Amino acid sequence: MKIACLLDEGFEDSEFKDPYDNLKAAGHEVLVVGFKAGPKVTGCHKEVAAAVELDLDHARPQDFDGLFIPGGYSPDHLRGDQRAIDFVRHFMTADKPVLAICHGPQLLLSAGVVDGRRMTAWKTVQVDLRYAGAHVTDAEVVVDGNLVTSRQPGDIPAFVATGLELLAAG
């Protein structure tokens, strides 16, 4: 499957690298999508950098089978851009697999697609999800149809395993 990874500066290093590496090892094509193709974006701990391969002006969500949204500060930067919001909304309304960890669900909040969904996220984002109508569970991984969410770096093994199961089923 072809997976889009929405990414900008300040992502949580392990929440990008570990799932990204595992998705690729499982045979998925993962393309980093961001504001501008070419430059590298760096994680908040400065341990990981990734080149943006496709910019939001040229990324077509219909060309991808799934979406991966790492946490950290990256989702908050991206949700200020309507192109990113529209990109995310497409995956949710098309019922394509979406994997979001930690602060990743902030993009889903801005896309207006969390009402009635079962989800989890970083503890402060959980509050926002509840206010937006999501059914929040404080668990390492929550699956609701096409959506897999997790809370934090410690949840990465469960997040990856569950995400790979969802992608294999699709």
Just give the CATH number of 2-169: 3.40.50.880
Phi first, then psi: give them for residue 59, nearest 5 degrees. Answer: -75, 125
Q: Which of 85, 102, 148, 164 is catalytic?
A: 102
* Beta carbons within 10 angstroms of residue 118's beta carbon: 16
Q: What percentage of the chain reaches a pLDDT higher than 70? A: 100
The mean pLDDT of 8-37, rounded to a whole number, is 98
pLDDT of residue 170: 72
Rounded alpha-carbon distances, angstroms, from residue 160 to 30, 41, 67, 110: 14, 22, 13, 24
Is 44 considered catalytic here?
no
Record the pTM.
Answer: 0.97
Q: Which residue stretches of 66-155 are H helix? A: 74-78, 82-93, 105-110, 123-131
pLDDT over threshold 90, residue 146 = yes
pLDDT in tens, 93-133: 999 999 999 999 999 999 999 999 999 999 999 999 999 99
Structure tokens at 121: 């996220």
